[in-house]
Amino acid sequence: MIQQPIQAASPAAATPGQRAVAAAVAQLDAAAEYLQLDGDLRAILRSPQRELIVRFPVKMDDGSVRVFTGYRVQHNTARGPAKGGLRFHPQTDLDDVRALAMWMTWKCALMNVPFGGAKGGVTCDPRDLSARELEGVTRRFATELSPIVGPDSDIPAPDVGTNAQVMAWFMDTLSMHAGYSIPGVVTGKPLSIGGSAGRADATGQGVLYTIEDAARRIGLDLANATVAVQGFGNVGEAAARLLHETGARIVAVTDIGGGVERPEGLDGAVLARYLQEHGTIAGAPGTRPIDNERLFGLDVDVLVLAALEGQITDANAGNVRARILAEAANGPTDPSADPILASRGVTVIPDILCNAGGVIVSYFEWTQNRAAFSWSREEVNDRLRRQILTAADQVWQRAASERIPPRLAAHSLAVERVADATRLRGLYP
């Protein structure tokens, strides 16, 4: 029996990262139990395959030197190279990255993209860094990760606190080391250096497709629906904009600085401009303030969670009144909340399905880089739609036919595929 390096932490686990690991392990355990996997396989799937912790100095604008800590965890590569985002956030620690890496393994498997799961990040608040300092952090972090990343081994992408510019610096650093351009080493790059059409909006686009699909299944008319969104970054902004374009009314949005509410509907373009100038949407003209807890309890049709892990727990799940809860973020719902949401009749679109548009189009970007070819935005979105809706169909069908919650359906489909790959490859040596 293999020693298990990560364990389900106690419910009173102290840090957000420990709570995320506890949630990820509990979800895996539920899927493994449902699939009746043997103990050895469970131990393998629970164990992150490779973990790298790096510490590196960066010269700050005031001349001082600051030492940063970064992480990269490759959870499982049975199905292909490791794939997963880079997060720059004050809460980023080894546990947080471990949980996010495990979720990536399941997401890639559920979407049938030929990748394993990984995640990485640096403990920092990018809002406190100048552009030059952010570039310094990115380039040194890329250098420290260089022994384990590459187009055939491990391919990072944007996540919380990172964006296409950060990916450009990351790709440039590794290309400079090699002496030639390696576009396929990261995805989510700007278009002009090998990015894919549609990648910037891909996660939000996938969120829209899975919400449209779930709405159709429960008979909700999305064109007349009301929506509340937590988080207004890469994912939340795109999801809100695309939902608005379908006719849905965005009535409330929160971000790290606070929140805004307008029952007649918010204008996403106005919010995006205000965010550019003020660093938060809070205080945007013509809006009333709202906090996360009130947003979670709004009487809306769709609640989109596009910020961080562990937002809905057993303490506040009883307040949720939305018909659809779309998990645009990774791990936004603690397992303790799942039975409460189910008893309230909330249709939860599980994260590994809802936010998988990003990794699907990252896969397309990587494929285009390898083929030195580019697809149109229409082609990307058409393929994205088909791929994510195929997975959605499998999830909802298993949930219905086996009478199990959609999260268990999604995780059991994914874990089954990774377990199968692991079994077929066998143990080396």
AA letter at 229: V
Q: How far is the CB of 54 from ligand NAD (least distance, A)?
A: 21
Token look-up 């997401």 returns: 107
105 binds ligand NAD (CB under 6 A): no
CA distance 168 to 209: 28
- Nearer to ligand NAD by Cβ, of 214 and 308: the residue is 308
- Nearer to ligand NAD by Cβ, of 160 and 349: the residue is 160
306 binds ligand NAD (CB under 6 A): yes
Question: Does the annotation mark 107 as catalytic?
Answer: no
309 within 8 A of 19, measured Cβ to Cβ? yes
DSSP state of 129: S
Among 352, 320, 347, which Cα is nearest to 222's?
347
- β-partners of residue 349 are 326
Q: How far is the CB of 341 from ligand NAD (least distance, A)?
A: 18
SS3 82: strand
327 binds ligand NAD (CB under 6 A): no
Catalytic residue among 83, 107, 119, 189: 119
187 binds ligand NAD (CB under 6 A): no
104 within 8 A of 84, measured Cβ to Cβ? yes
79 within 8 A of 421, measured Cβ to Cβ? yes
Which residues ranging from 373 to 392 are in contact with ligand NAD (CB under 6 A)? none
156 within 8 A of 149, measured Cβ to Cβ? yes
Piece of 53-61, 68-76, 173-181, 306-314 that binds ligand NAD (CB under 6 A): 306-314
Q: What is the largest CA-CA distance in the chain?
A: 65
Which residues ranging from 224 to 253 are in contact with ligand NAD (CB under 6 A)? 230-236
Q: How far is the CB of 308 from ligand NAD (least distance, A)?
A: 5
- Nearer to ligand NAD by Cβ, of 21 and 308: the residue is 308
Q: Please identify which residue in 330, 368, 412, 422 interacts with ligand NAD, judged by CB under 6 A.
A: 330
CA distance 349 to 357: 13
- Nearer to ligand NAD by Cβ, of 18 and 422: the residue is 18
Residue 400: CB atoms within 10 Å? 12
- Nearer to ligand NAD by Cβ, of 161 and 350: the residue is 161
CA distance 361 to 7: 32
> Is the bond leading into 429 cis (omega within 30 degrees of zero)?
yes
Among 112, 102, 70, which Cα is nearest to 88's?
70
Q: How far is the CB of 331 from ligand NAD (least distance, A)?
A: 7
Piece of 51-59, 68-76, 134-142, 324-332 that binds ligand NAD (CB under 6 A): 324-332
SS3 87: strand
Q: Please identify which residue in 164, 182, 214, 307 interacts with ligand NAD, judged by CB under 6 A.
A: 307
Strands 249-255 vs 226-230: parallel, antiparallel or unpaired? parallel
Size of the site for ligand NAD (CB under 6 A): 24
Token look-up 């007349």 returns: 224
256 binds ligand NAD (CB under 6 A): yes
Letters for 125-164 (x = contact with ligand NAD by CB under 6 A, - = none) are ---------------------------------xxxx---
Which residues ranging from 335 to 374 are in contact with ligand NAD (CB under 6 A)? 355, 358
- Position with the least CB separation from ligand NAD: 233
CA distance 203 to 206: 5
Q: Which residues bind ligand NAD (CB under 6 A)?
A: 158-161, 203, 230-236, 254-256, 292, 306-308, 328-330, 355, 358
List residues with catalytic annotation: 119
